[in-house]
Amino acid sequence: MSGHVSPKSLYYSIFGALMVLTAITVFAAFLNLGAMNAPLALAIATFKATLVVLFFMHVKYSSRLTKLVVTTSLFFLAILLGEMMMDYATRGLGVIPPPLQ
Amino acid sequence: MLDTLKLPERHYLNNGHGLKSWLLTKDHKRIAIMYLISISVMFLIGGLFAAAVRVELMTPEGDLFLADTYNKMFTMHGVVMVFFFLIPSTPAVLGNFLIPPMIGAKDLAFPRINLLSLYLLWVGAAFFFYALFAGGVDTGWTFYTPFSSSASNSNVVPTALGAFISGFSSILTGLNFIVTIHRMRAPGLTWFRLPLFVWAHYATSLIQVLGTPVVAITIVMVAVERMFGFAIFDPVRGGDPVLFQHLFWFYSHPAVYIMILPAMGVISEVVSTFSRKTIFGYSFVAFSSLAIAVFGFLVWAHHLFVAGISTYSAMVFSFLSFAVAIPSAVKTFNWAATLYKGAISFETPMLYAYGFFGLFLIGGLTGLFLATLGVDIHVHDTYFVVAHFHYIMVGGAIMGYLGGLHFWWPKLTGRMYSEFFSRISAILVFVGFNLTFFPQFMLGYMGMPRRYHAYPDEFQVLNIMSSAGAAVLGVGYLLPVLYFLWSLKRGEVAGPNPWGASGLEWQMPSPPPTENFKEQPVVHGEPYEYTPHVAREANLV
């Protein structure tokens, strides 16, 4: 890891942000947002993961090859989730129920 | 000329003696040899389970095993063969041994991680053996829920942990290959001068790194549900068993390409060498490896057509499954074009390559039957499927692995094996394989379901043919053990390049020294240069 050295204060700030976001997650878990419960929790978790990847894992300051590796893995994650949701979103559509006996 | 050849005085096999020098080695070649021994033992064990299955199926009645025992036999056959033999086979043995010399490097990028990956395979295998001796497991190698998570009373968790741990072995190998191929190529060795074996392993590594973590976590979820009662896949408590199938096959379909892509890499090398021609359509063959790796991730739900997934997504997955056949066909046509007007010969590695063509073709085309929605409903979970994937995983992957092992055996050991017996073995494998699995296409089409220990009388003739074929196949697989062992002591000294092949690995002595090359090789030419002049020079080395 030649090159960029981040100041300690940045790491403490990111750590603080992660702690605050964790508190928000806990707080949000007690709110009844109906269908938005899971998307909100996932959105906060994704934001936290992004902070970890960019700063703690130094991807923000890494070579383009490293960024390509990270993007590739996200692309394949998108395939996993996208194609799976393709099934769940259309399940039961156009199915003709059997006639009543 | 061969009489004058001598083994080099110092090479990787005699550089250090004793168990410790092997168990603590960082030499990729020694690690490859330990992989070779390990997976050969696992192949033998997996083969014994297969033999048990075939003996049971010689008669329509379930007279040798109880139904439960039979379930365990085919499950353990599948678990051993997939996780402990096929996944590591070509990459961990031949890839490990050959990728560094093929790119002009002294070792892989992370030699200690390479050794760790071997240890992880052993630890995973230890969990499997524990499960075996504790009574076995009966879920099928696919660990389908909710049976595996809620109903089965066999050793699901230790087996699953074994698969989980061996998965990390696979991830580390893939990671090592990716970094090595990116960072350690010799001067002048540009991406489009790489041997196609290396391209194939690069594509394989991508799948290993990107896919394996998904199945690992999925297996953990099964274990968590089973041990702590979490409701992830259990439909009674709001879970979804089809979710398991999605997650499992997201890895396990590409896993088939982990098995077949390295074999395809072997075939490219062998076909070019034994037809004395440069490979036809190099860049198409190289990119088709990457295309298979990427497209391979888009098709998994063709395993779920009758599992209750949406009709619309099934149509999309069916279309994509047809699409993945295209890069495989690109390779096959290019190999055929390479043979055209080549100076073709029939040494053992090439016999395996010919076998690969025929078997992979049948396996691939019957895959299209299964990708067709209507046909799949008829043949789903029948012996047609069993025959199809054995044509790919045995007919394709193992033929490629054995072809590669015969091709590079002189490099691994410095000695030649008996060409006579090895040709007999190749022919026995081809004949025995077809006799074993072609009847299974017919059985499946006629409606014989898989995973039953008893069947109606009218299926007996074809089942006996299949079992007889398995016996021939067994002899074909055992013969190489004998002549390879024989060759270690008594085989003719091979010299550095017995086949007159191009490629950096053939410039090393056989067996190579620990550091592979005395001086850093520099690459000036294109791969697969088989002009008469180059071939003559190579033979004179």
Give per-residue pLDDT as tens, B89-148.
Answer: 999 999 999 999 999 999 999 999 999 999 999 999 999 999 999 999 999 999 999 999
Amino acid present at B217? I
Tell whether B12 is covered by a domain. no
Residues 32-51 of A with CB under 8 A from B: none
Structural domain including A78 reads 61-91
Please answer whether residues B219 and B150 qualify as being in contact, where contact means their C-beta atoms are separated by less than 8 angstroms.
no
- Give tens-digit pLDDT for B177-222: 999 999 999 999 999 999 999 999 999 999 999 999 999 999 999 9
- Comparing alpha-carbon positions, the chain B residue that sits nearest to A92 is B310
Percent residues over pLDDT 70 in chain B: 97
Tell whether B11 is covered by a domain. no
Q: Is the pLDDT of residue B353 over 50?
A: yes
Please answer whether residues B522 and B188 qualify as being in contact, where contact means their C-beta atoms are separated by less than 8 angstroms.
yes
Question: Which residue in B210, B211, B309 is closest to A91 by CB distance?
Answer: B309
Tell whether A98 is covered by a domain. no
- Give tens-digit pLDDT for A55-95: 999 999 999 989 998 999 999 999 999 999 999 999 877 66
Amino acid present at A88? Y
pLDDT the model gives residue B539: 52
CA distance B210 to chain A (A): 7
**In this structure, are A13 and A27 located in the same domain?**
yes
Tell whether B8 is covered by a domain. no
| CATH, residue B476 | 1.20.210.10
Taking the CA of residue B468 as centre, how many other CA atoms within 13 Å lie in the half-sphere pointing to its CB? 10
Percent residues over pLDDT 90 in chain B: 91
Domain tally, chain B: 1
Average pLDDT over residues B432-461: 96
Domain tally, chain A: 2
Q: Is the pLDDT of residue A2 over 80?
A: no
Q: Is the pLDDT of residue B537 over 80?
A: no
- Comparing alpha-carbon positions, the chain B residue that sits nearest to A74 is B210
Q: Using the beta-carbon criterion (under 8 Å), do B310 and A72 form an inter-chain contact?
A: no
**In this structure, are A51 and A25 located in the same domain?**
yes
pLDDT the model gives residue A100: 73
Q: Is the pLDDT of residue B540 over 50?
A: no
- Give tens-digit pLDDT for A8-65: 999 999 999 999 999 999 999 999 888 888 899 999 999 999 999 999 999 999 999 8
**B168 against B528, higher pLDDT:** B168
pLDDT the model gives residue B446: 96
- Residue B532 — pLDDT band, cuts 50, 70, 90? low
The structure tokens listed for B486 are 């024989």
Structural domain including B107 reads 17-540
- Give tens-digit pLDDT for B264-305: 999 999 999 999 999 999 999 999 999 999 999 999 999 999
Tell whether B376 is covered by a domain. yes
Q: Which residues of B263-355 form beta strands (DSSP E)?
A: none
Write down the ipTM of this complex: 0.84
Q: How far is it, in rounded angstroms, from Cα B271 to Cα B423?
A: 16
pLDDT the model gives residue B488: 95
Tell whether A96 is covered by a domain. no
pLDDT the model gives residue B529: 84
Residues 69-98 of A with CB under 8 A from B: 72-73, 76, 79-80, 83-84, 86-95
Q: How many CB atoms lie within 10 A of CB B357?
A: 18
CA distance A8 to chain B (A): 30
Please answer whether residues B454 and B406 qualify as being in contact, where contact means their C-beta atoms are separated by less than 8 angstroms.
no
The structure tokens listed for B75 are 């499950």
pLDDT the model gives residue B533: 54
Name which of B356, B352, B331, B329 is nearest B279 in CA terms. Answer: B331
pLDDT the model gives residue B237: 86
- Comparing alpha-carbon positions, the chain B residue that sits nearest to A73 is B210
Distances (CA, A) of B377 to A99, B75, B317, B445, B482: 22, 23, 15, 11, 44
Q: Is the pLDDT of residue B541 over 60?
A: no
